[in-house]
Amino acid sequence: MENLTNCNEGLQPAVCRACLFATGAAPGRSPSREWCALGDPEAQPRGLGGLDARDPAPQALTPGGGGGGGEVWLLSGAAPGPWTDGHPAAEAMPVAGLLPLFGSPAGGGLGGGLGGGLGGGGGRKGSGPAAFRLTEKFVLLLVFSAFITLCFGAIFFLPDSSKLLSGVLFHSSPALQPAADHKPGPGARAEDAAEGRARRREEGAPEDPAADREDPLARIRENHERALREAKETLQKLPEEIQRDILREKEKVAQDQLRDRAPFRRLPPVDFVPPIGLENREPADAAVREKRAKIKEMMEHAWNSYKRYAWGLNELKPITKEGHSSSLFGTIKGATIVDALDTLFIMGMESEFQEAKSWIAENLDFNVNAEISVFEVNIRFVGGLLSAYYLSGEEIFRKKAVELGIKLLPAFHTPSGIPWALLNIKSGIGRNWPWASGGSSILAEFGTLHLEFMHLSHLSGNPIFAEKVMNIRKVLNKLEKPEGLYPNYLNPSSGQWGQHHVSIGGLGDSFYEYLLKAWLMSEKTDLEAKKMYFDAVQAIETHLIRKSSGGLTYIAEWKGGLLEHKMGHLTCFAGGMFALGADGAPEGRAQHYLELGAEIARTCHESYNRTFMKLGPEAFRFDGGVEAIATRQNEKYYILRPEVVETYMYMWRLTHDPKYRKWAWEAVEALESHCRVNGGYSGLRDVYFTHEKYDNVQQSFFLAETLKYLYLIFSDDDLLPLEHWIFNTEAHLLPILPTAQKEVEVKVK
| Positions marked active-site | 618
φ, ψ dihedrals at 430, nearest 5°:
-115, 165
The DSSP-derived string for 462-506 is -THHHHHHHHHHHHHHHSPPGGG---SEE-TTT--B-S-EE-SST
The answer to whether 537 touches 512, Cβ cutoff 8 Å, is: yes
| Closest residue by Cα to residue 329 from 364, 355, 296 | 364
CB-based contacts of 204, cutoff 8 Å, min separation 6 = none
The answer to whether 108 touches 115, Cβ cutoff 8 Å, is: yes
Neighbours of 213 (CB within 10 A): 14
Residue 562's SS3 state is strand
DSSP state of 438: T
Length of the chain measured in residues: 749
| Closest residue by Cα to residue 412 from 233, 259, 632 | 259
The answer to whether 218 touches 210, Cβ cutoff 8 Å, is: no
Q: In 522-632, which residue ranges form alpha helices assigned H by DSSP?
A: 527-543, 574-580, 590-609
Residue type, 533: Y
The answer to whether 381 touches 338, Cβ cutoff 8 Å, is: yes
Adjacent-strand bridge partners of 719? 278
CA angle 436/439/442 to nearest 5° reads 50
DSSP state of 684: B
The answer to whether 615 touches 608, Cβ cutoff 8 Å, is: yes
Rounded CA-CA distance 348/235 in Å is 63
| Closest residue by Cα to residue 455 from 746, 743, 735, 749 | 735
SS (HEC) of 656-723: CCHHHHHHHHHHHHHHHHHHEECCEECCECCCCCCCCCECCCECHHHHHHHHHHHHHHCCCCCECCCC
CB-based contacts of 681, cutoff 8 Å, min separation 6 = 298, 301, 302, 318, 640, 671, 675, 698, 702
Residue 435's SS3 state is coil
CB-based contacts of 509, cutoff 8 Å, min separation 6 = 444, 503, 570, 571, 573, 574, 729
Residue 247's SS3 state is helix
Residue type, 683: G
Q: Are strands 545-547 and 553-555 parallel, antiparallel or unpaired?
A: antiparallel
The DSSP-derived string for 600-620 is HHHHHHHHHHTSSSSS--SEE
Q: Please, what's the b/e burial string for 558-590 (b: 16 or more CB within 10 A of its CB; e: otherwise)?
A: beeeeeeebbbbbbbbbbbbbbbbbebbeeebe
Q: What share of the chain is helix, strand, coil (3-state, %, to 5)?
A: 50, 10, 40
DSSP state of 91: S
